[in-house]
């Protein structure tokens, strides 16, 4: 029986085409697969470098990269969440990004150490159900949502990768004690969802009146279900409120990359005008392109009109503090 097991295993192994050809790169991708497939195809046409893509959830892929260490088959990591990149940078798994690539994007959206480059961004917003709440009743600040009058009327996804940077931002702006008090208020008020997709869908159904999400979740839901079924809208926190935080999605070259040249070329391509236009007009991810010359999808409020809090990527850190506070407040 052992023998037959082995022979089946070997037969299976023989059928798989191993090792890809030299002039290609391997991309670990936690960005939206549809967008990345288009980009990879376009990149190959431009440069002749093929892109092998492994897609997955950001945290699982980041955990996989940490587990693989110096033996990783990946050349490039492209993700929606900068804290994952900060973690990989701290673990010494990333290689410096070429200066020419970094210089395309405004400096505050990339790694302070130059180990990864910001590619696109999105804004933290408040989605609200238009039949349950009217725009004038909406809170001015993120902190208002922890007040008793919002009991049962807020949806949050504290374990979503988008929520942690928000907590970090609150800590950076107001300090730990105020953050904990705010989180405890949210714990009393909020309906807890597993991810932002869940929050925005519930807001639209009327399951909960408002929800803290990143802007593109609402954009995507709206695009998917159309005007007739959209019973929700997006409100922006005004006046530099922490609630209007901008999250960055970025890319990095692995230190152990097999094809570092190809990997650097791919990063340069990602921030190029051509690729940024593809992303901005793809009608799939609805993120803000970080190339200053490329406008975002018209469904979004223009990037230069956003009023994010004045915080740096460094102040936001790698999420470890956020996790601790969320646990203390009983949200995690």
Taking the alpha carbons at both ends of the chain, their separation in whole angstroms is: 47
Q: Between 224 and 304, whose beta carbon lies closer to another protein?
A: 224
Q: How far is the CB of 34 from another protein (least distance, A)?
A: 5
* Beta-carbon contacts of residue 27 (< 8 Å; ≥ 6 apart): 36, 40, 51, 52, 53, 54, 74, 75, 76, 77, 78, 266
- Supply the Cα-derived Rg of the chain in whole angstroms: 21
Interface region with another protein, contact rule CB under 8 A, candidates 11-19, 174-182, 244-252, 297-305 = 11-19
Nearest CB to another protein, comparing residues 102 and 326: 326
Q: Which is nearer to another protein, 81 or 101 (CB)?
A: 81
Q: Please report whether residue 274 would count as binding another protein according to CB under 8 A.
A: no
Structure tokens that stand for 57 in this block: 């959830």
32 HSE (CA, 13 A, CB side): 15
**Binders of another protein in range 223-262 (CB under 8 A):** 223-224, 226
Cβ at position 54, least distance to another protein in Å: 5
Options 5, 22, 135, 305; binder of another protein; rule CB under 8 A: 5
> What's the min distance (Å) between Cβ of 227 and another protein?
11
Query: Should residue 13 be labelled a site residue for another protein when binding is judged by CB under 8 A?
Result: yes
Binding residues among 132-191 for another protein as defined by CB under 8 A: 158-161, 164, 191
Helix (H, G, I), strand (E, B) or coil at 155: strand
Beta carbon nearer to another protein, 101 or 214 = 214
Alpha carbon distances (Å) from 329 to 167, 191, 208, 332: 12, 14, 21, 8
Stretch that binds another protein, among 119-127, 205-213, 272-280, 299-307 (CB under 8 A): 205-213
- Toward another protein, which CB reaches closer, 68 or 144? 68
Judged by DSSP in three states, 72 sits in coil
Which residues does 212 contact at the CB level (< 8 Å), separation at least 6?
124, 125, 126, 142, 145, 154, 155, 156, 157, 163, 166, 199, 243
Q: Considering the rule CB under 8 A, would residue 285 count as an interface residue with another protein?
A: yes
Whole-number Å distance between alpha carbons of 285 and 217: 9
Q: Which of residues 39-58 bind another protein (CB under 8 A)?
A: 52-58
> Which of 96, 114, 207, 260 touches another protein by CB under 8 A?
207
Q: Which of 221, 234, 256, 267 binds another protein (CB under 8 A)?
A: 221
Which DSSP letter does residue 130 get?
T
Pair 237, 75: CB distance under 8 Å: no
Distance from CA of residue 95 to its chain's centroid? 21
297 near another protein, rule: CB under 8 A: no
List the interface residues with another protein, window 75-134 (CB under 8 A).
84, 87
136 contacts: CB under 8 Å, gap ≥ 6: none
Handedness of CA 30, 280, 122, 89 (dihedral sign): positive
Query: Which segment (59-67, 107-115, 235-243, 268-276) binds another protein by CB under 8 A?
Result: 59-67
- Point out which span in 113-121, 249-257, 293-301, 323-331 binds another protein (CB under 8 A): 323-331
């Amino acid at each position: 029986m052992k023998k037959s097991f082995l022979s089946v295993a070997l037969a299976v192994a023989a059928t798989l085409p191993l090792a890809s050809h030299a002039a290609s790169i391997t991309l670990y991708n936690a960005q939206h697969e549809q967008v990345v497939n288009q980009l990879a195809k376009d990149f190959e046409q431009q440069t002749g470098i093929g892109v092998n893509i492994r897609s997955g959830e950001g945290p699982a892929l980041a955990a996989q990269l940490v587990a693989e260490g110096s033996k990783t088959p990946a050349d490039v990591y492209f993700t929606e969440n900068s804290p994952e990149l900060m973690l990989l940078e701290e673990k010494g798994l990333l290689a410096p990004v070429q200066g020419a690539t970094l210089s395309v994007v405004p400096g505050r959206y990339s790694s302070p150490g130059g180990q990864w480059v910001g590619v696109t961004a999105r804004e933290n917003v408040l989605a609200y159900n238009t039949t349950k709440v009217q725009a004038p009743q909406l809170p001015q600040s993120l902190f208002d949502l922890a007040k008793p009058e919002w009991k049962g009327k807020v949806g949050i996804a504290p374990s979503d990768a988008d929520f942690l940077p928000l907590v970090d931002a609150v800590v950076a702006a107001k300090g730990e004690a105020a953050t904990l008090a705010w989180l405890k208020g949210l714990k009393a008020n909020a309906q807890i969802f597993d991810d932002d997709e869940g929050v925005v869908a519930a807001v639209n159904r009327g399951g909960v009146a408002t929800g803290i999400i990143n802007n593109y979740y609402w954009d995507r839901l709206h695009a998917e279900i159309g005007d007739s079924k959209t019973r929700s809208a997006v409100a922006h926190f005004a006046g530099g409120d922490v609630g209007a935080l901008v999250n960055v999605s970025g890319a990095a070259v692995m230190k152990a990359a097999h094809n570092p040249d190809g990997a650097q070329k791919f990063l340069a391509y990602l921030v190029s005008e051509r690729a940024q236009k593809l992303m901005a007009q793809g009608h799939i991810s609805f993120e803000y392109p970080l190339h200053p010359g490329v406008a975002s999808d018209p469904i979004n409020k223009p990037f230069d009109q956003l009023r994010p809090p004045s915080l740096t990527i460094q102040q936001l850190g790698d999420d470890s503090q956020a996790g601790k506070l969320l646990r203390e407040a009983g949200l995690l």
